[in-house]
Chain A
Amino acid sequence: MVNWIQQALFLGTLIVATWIIFKRFKFIKRNILLGKKGIDKDKIGGWKTTLLLAFGQKKMFDKPLVGIMHLIIYIGFVLINIEVLEIVIDGITGSHRVFSSYLGSFYPFLINFFEILALGVLVSCVLFLTRRNILNISRFKKPEMKGWPTKDANIILIWEVALMLALFTMNATDSILQNRFAESSYVASHYPRVGTFAISQFFIPIFSGLDTSALIIVERVAWWVHIIGILSFAVYITFSKHLHIFLAFPNSYFAKSSSVGKMQNMDAVTKEVKIMLGMQQDDGQTPQEVETFGAKDIFDLSWKNLMDAYSCTECGRCTAVCPANITGKKLSPRKIMMDTRDRVEEVGKKIDQKKEGYKEENILYGNYISKEELMACTTCNACVEACPVSIDPLDIILQLRRYIAMEESGTPPAWNAMFTNIENNAAPWAFAPTERFKWSEDLSQDN
């Protein structure tokens, strides 16, 4: 193919991909900011948790074998992208292996290193596919994983396998072409003689029987498949559960650093209660419009809750340790996050389509997340502890519970009785406050 056509096509593809990614990025950012403001900057994990959890993937190593495979894919993803830079420059300028002329003997070393990583990525992805589809791991088979979520996970893994195979094909055919420099000036000038590479050399026998023009076609196709694969993968992940590769970083940065046992105080309530108890004078100001007590929809949640939802990659470690889920209740912390994201996406689309009534229709509580799920939570924090990227499903659950209790008066009768007991007897049980100190009399009888 004539070079300038390839260059033009490449530039066009690059612009389109970048444009879509940019649009999606804006869409997601706008959606996250539909949540409430007000994150206490003093009470976040900051760079420490970012380094430990996102860069260091500390919690992934709770399962050491999976942790190592995940780390290989992660390092592969980050480092192989250096090669993508070369591909992009080659694509735009029409050069080939542009870095080789600058890096000299370091160049083959670099490519060898990438290839070894690529093999690691390939093997890890194949093992992950096996684990998901053949081994019977219950967290991958939960009801919320039916249909699209399972497909989504497989598509991503297969995509990565295909990308790595394209890389090897590209390098193998390239290596053969390097040695056919005598056949034409195009081959001689276009395929610098950088040698064979660590892994792709084993693919050479597959292609060595092809004549030079066929080889050039295979090499070009593999090159295009590889780069289009990468670009479309980048576009795809913005529509999939796979955004954790970016959002894990800000999400760990903004993770709560105070004790996880602490619930967020509702300051609007404090003021009213203080006036009620006579601890503060009513300043006569009409209280600032308190929208709702607790949360019924994404607009009542914080932007961190919504970023949590976009960061979730549906691994299900939270659900696998949830006492309610383990014992067969409907609650699944992963589903809470998936529901929140689905609702945010729905609202985002409706806003873009200028549809009315999106705030009232199909709200999170009741349509996505049921009361039964919310009531089953023991607030044990196991889900929070298990999440490798600092997602807090419990925070969402508790905010929805506040709505049920304070706006809907919808708590179960047994809880209403507990509330009444606390109000009347100062204890959650129906004992008279005068009985509270009776145990001390038992003690004197004891002796």
Chain B
Amino acid sequence: MTMQVPTIAEMKAKGENPEILFWVGCAGSFDDRYKRVTIAFIKILNKIGVKFAVLGPEESCTGDPARRAGNEFLFQMQALSNIQLLNSYEVKKIVTACPHCFNTIKNEYPELGGNYDVVHHSSYLKELIASGKLKVKGGEFKGKKITYHDSCYLGRANNIYEAPRDLIEALDADLVEMKRCKTKGLCCGAGGAQMFKDAESGEKEVNIERIEEAIDTKAEVVAAGCPFCMTMLSDGVKNKEKENSVKVLDLAELIAISESL
């Protein structure tokens, strides 16, 4: 199967409109690990045959890390130019695999003039399964112990706790919870622009505290739905030298792998 990744500019040139815009995000575009998540999601989109598009080279940072770091000017520069672009393409529905992009576009763009139906890829995938557009059998994850790490910007910030878990259960996997989960989930340590600087001095790194908890569940896979969590958890696994027994995978990857896409 040849993979299609149409840009919205190409599509518009042909006089067509995408059903969804896949907002890839900076990590999904540049981070080697998260590019694999982008590709997994693209494979799923191709498989179900939905009419989607990406912004491609026109995409730009949502401004989330700048805003959380206190730089409101830079955030609004980003936000207002992104909104200008999105509105010029008359974008209606946006799907993204990044909870930070999701939260910003969904909750913070409206009062700056950007009103879209914004969906995190976990909710989108869940919808696809529920409506029968995407069929999963579980494949290699059947019966495997999988734990899910709640991203703060998906969970507490937007109350999305069930969609990611439903996906894991759809794979017929054995979902095990960490002690701190859902509303009480422990942050990976990267939110609030921490991703872009060293942590303040303390006794421990937050991601180590978190990965220890994940390892305690004896899960073979730690599922995540956020690029920053992905980096932090993967670093944690490396630090604990558990790369051979514990894998950190995104929800879209779980589905793509189980369906051998």
Contacts and interface: CB of A to CB of B under 8 A. Distances in A.
Contacts of A273: 73, 76-77, 80
A411 B39 contact: no
Interface in A322-348: 323-324, 326-331
B80 A422 contact: no
Chain A residues touching B, range: 35 or more
B187 A398 contact: no
B187 A436 contact: no
Contact of B192 (A378, A403, A404, A429): A378
A419 B66 contact: yes
A372 B3 CA distance: 48
Interface in B203-250: 203-206, 209
Interface stretch (B106-114, B137-145, B170-178): B106-114
Contacts of B199: 327, 329, 376
B15 interface: no
Interface string B1-21: 111010100000000000000
A444 interface: yes
Contact of B71 (A406, A412, A434): A406
A13 interface: no
A431 B54 CA distance: 19
Contacts of B28: 439
A12 interface: no
B29 interface: yes
A405 B71 contact: yes
B128 interface: no
Interface in B148-182: 152-153, 156-159
A429 B189 contact: no
A377 B191 CA distance: 8
A428 B187 contact: no
- Interface magnitude class on chain B: 35 or more
B29 to A, nearest CB: 5
Contacts of B57: 433-434, 436-437
Contact of A375 (B1, B66, B81, B200): B200
B56 A440 contact: yes
Nearest to B57: A437
B56 A380 contact: no
Contact of A258 (B1, B3, B107): B107
B59 interface: yes
Given A380-B152, A443-B3, A443-B5, A415 B193 contact: yes
A418 B206 contact: no
Q: Kindly name the residue among B70, B81, B187, B198 whose own CB sees the greatest number of chain A CB atoms within 10 A.
A: B70
A422 B204 CA distance: 30
Contacts of B195: 428
A192 B202 CA distance: 66
A5 interface: no
Interface string A266-299: 1001101110110100000000000001100000
A427 B29 contact: yes
Interface in B80-131: 80-81, 84, 103, 106-108, 111-112
B44 interface: no
Interface in A156-173: none
Given A428-B26, A439-B35, A446-B3, 14 more contacts: A260-B157, A378-B152, A381-B152, A382-B184, A405-B70, A406-B71, A415-B196, A415-B197, A423-B77, A427-B29, A427-B61, A436-B59, A439-B28, A446-B39
Interface of B: 1-3, 5, 7, 24, 26, 28-31, 35, 38-39, 42, 54, 56-57, 59-61, 63, 65-74, 76-78, 80-81, 84, 103, 106-108, 111-112, 152-153, 156-159, 183-187, 189-206, 209
5 contacts: A378-B206, A381-B157, A398-B68, A439-B38, A447-B1
